[in-house]
Amino acid sequence: MELIYGIKDKPSLGKVILFALQQLLAIMAATIAVPAIVGNGLSASAALFGAGVGTFVYLLFTKSSSPVFLGSSFAFIGSMFSAFGGAASVTVGYWGLIIGAVMAGLVYVIIAIIVKCCGVKWIDRLMPPVIIGPTVSIIGLSLSANAVSDLMKTSVEGGSTYVALICGLITLAVTMMCSSYGKKIGRLIPFIIGILAGYLAASIFALIGYTTSNPALIVINYQALLGVKSFFAIPKFTFLAGGIEGLKGITPTYLLTIFAAYVPVAFVVFAEHLADHKNLSAIIGVDLLKTPGLTRTLLGDGIGTIVSTAFGGCPNTTYGESIGCVAITRNASTVSIWGCAILCILFSLISPLVAFLETIPNCVMGGVCVALYGFIAVSGFKMFQKVDLNINRNLFVASVIFITGVGGMVVKIGAVEIRTVACALILGILTNILLGGNTKPKKEESEN
C-alpha cells in the first residue's frame, strides 16, 4: 500500500488536528464502552484520559515509530469484574484494578526481556503467515457482529431500527465515497465526514419526529448534552477513588485472586499485540517487530497499561480501529497519534465535548465500524495470500483458526476468560505444531 503520509512525516497543523480527531472518533466508542460495561463508578472521561496518557507512554517507548493508539481492552473486562467481586468494598476494588494492571504490565516486561535476549525469530517460527494472517482476519471478523448490531441500534427507546439502519448506511456510504473519490482533505478524513453526515441524518429524522410526535423517527439521544452543568470537570481517577481506606482492605487472598484474574489474560493479550503489529506492519510496509522492535512495543504497551489504569481503571491494548483508520486513510504519521492522545486528554476535561461524543448514535458508529473491521479482516487475508492452501497442513491450520474465530469460541477457566481471538490463535499454533509446520518461514510456505 502506498502511504500518503509515512511514519515520520509531519502534516500541517490543521491536518494533524483533523487526523487526530478522526482517530479519536474511531477509537472513542470502544474506549468508553469498557468502563460503562464494568460499572462500579468507573468514569468514561477518566478512561479517555487514561487512554491518552497510556498512548503517550507507548509512543515514547517506541520512539514515535509505531502509529497505533492504545485504548481500553475488552479482554480484561472479566478481570476487572474479579477486582470488584473479590474486594471487600468498591474502594478496595479500585486499588485491585491498579494492582492487576501492574501484574499484567510486568508480564509484558518479562516477555520484552526474553525478546531482547533471544530475538524475534522464534516468534516467526511459532507464528508463520498461515497462522498470523487468519488470526488478523479473525480480529476483524470477530467484531463484525458488534458492527452489524450497532448499525441497527437506536439510542432512544422506541426508535425504529429501520431509521437507525438508514443513518448507519448513510454514514458508511459517505465514508466509502470520500475515501474512494474524495479530493485532498476529504480523502484523508473520510470517517469525520461520514460520522458528521450520519449525525446530521439522525438529527433531521429526530427533528421530524419531534415535530410530528413520531417517536419511531428519533434514534439520537441528546440527554448527555442537556445534562452538562459545567465546562471543565476533573474525571474520577482510579488512584484517587480508592483512597487510603481502600489500601487497608487488601489481603493476601485478594492479591491471589487478582493475580489469577489478570496474569493469564496478559499472555492472551500478548498474542493480540503480536497480531496487531504484524497487521500494521503489512499495511505500512515496515516490520515493527524489528523497527522499533518488539521489545519496545511490548514495554510501551505494558507500562502504558499500568499508567492508563492508574488514571482510568482500564488496562490498554493496541486498537484494531486505529489500525483500520491507518489502512483506509493511508496516513501512518505518528504525529496524528500524538494528536489523538492529546485530544483524548483535553476532551476528557471538557464536559460539553465528552457529552457530544456520547450523543453520537450507535447506528452511526456502526456504519463506520463496518468499514473499519472489514479493513482489518481483509488485511489479514492479504497477509497469507501467498500461502499454498493446497497443502493439507496449511489448510487445516487456517481452517481451525477461521472456524473457532468466526464461531466465537470463548473458554472460561475459573475467573479467567480466554476470548475469541486468543482461542483461535492458540488452537492455530497447536495445530501447526501438531502437523509439524512450525519451522516454515514465509518464503518456504509459499513455495511448498
Summarised one tens digit per residue, pLDDT across range 254-289 is 898 888 778 877 876 887 788 889 889 988 999 998
Mean pLDDT of 19-36: 85
C-alpha span between 415 and 223 (Å, rounded): 36
> Taking the CB of residue 298, how many other CB atoms lie within 10 A of it?
27
Q: pLDDT, tens digit, for every residue of 63-105? A: 999 999 999 987 787 788 888 987 778 889 999 999 999 999 9
| Confidence band for 238, pLDDT divided at 50, 70 and 90 | very high
Distance CA 406, CA 421 (A): 9
Q: Is pLDDT above 50 for 441? A: no
Residue 442: per-residue pLDDT: 44
Confidence of residue 32 (pLDDT cuts 50, 70, 90): confident
**Would you mind telling me the total number of residues written for the chain in this entry?**
448
Exposure of 124 by Cβ count < 10 A (0-12 exposed, 13-18 middle, 19+ buried)? middle
pLDDT at 415: 54
- Of the candidates 140, 166, 144, the one whose C-alpha atom is nearest the C-alpha of residue 363 is 166
Given this model, what pLDDT does residue 417 score? Answer: 59
Look at residue 448 in the predicted model and tell me its pLDDT.
35
Residue 317 pLDDT > 50, yes or no? Answer: yes
- pLDDT for 166 beyond 70: yes
Q: Which of 91-100, 129-138, 160-169, 204-213 has the lowest mean pLDDT?
A: 129-138
Q: What is the 3-state secondary structure (H, E, C) of the chain?
A: CCCCECCCCCCCHHHHHHHHHHHHHHHHHHHHHHHHHHCCCCCHHHHHHHHHHHHHHHHHHCCCCCCCCEEECHHHHHHHHHHHHCCCCHHHHHHHHHHHHHHHHHHHHHHHHHHHHHCCHHHHHHCCHHHHHHHHHHHHHCCHHHHHHHHCCCCCCCCCHHHHHHHHHHHHHHHHHHHHHCCCHHHHCHHHHHHHHHHHHHHHHHHHHHHHCCHHHCCCCCHHHHCCCCCECCCCCHHHHHHHHHHHCCCHHHHHHHHHHHHHHHHHHHHHHHHHHHHHHHHHCCCCHHHHHHHHHHHHHHHHHHHHHHHHCCCEEECHHHHHHHHHHCECCHHHHHHHHHHHHHHHHEHHHHHHHHHCCHHHHHHHHHHHHHHHHHHHHHHCCCCCCCCHHHHHHHHHHHHHHHCCCCEEECCEEECHHHHHHHHHHHHHHHCCCCCCCHHHHHHC
Greater confidence (379 vs 220) lies with 220
Among 52-56, 182-186, 313-317, 319-323, top mean pLDDT goes to: 52-56
Beta-bridged to residue 317, according to DSSP, are 71
Instruction: Tell me what percent of the residues of the chain surpass a pLDDT of 70.
Output: 95
Kindly list the domain boundaries of the chain, sorted by start residue: 13-443
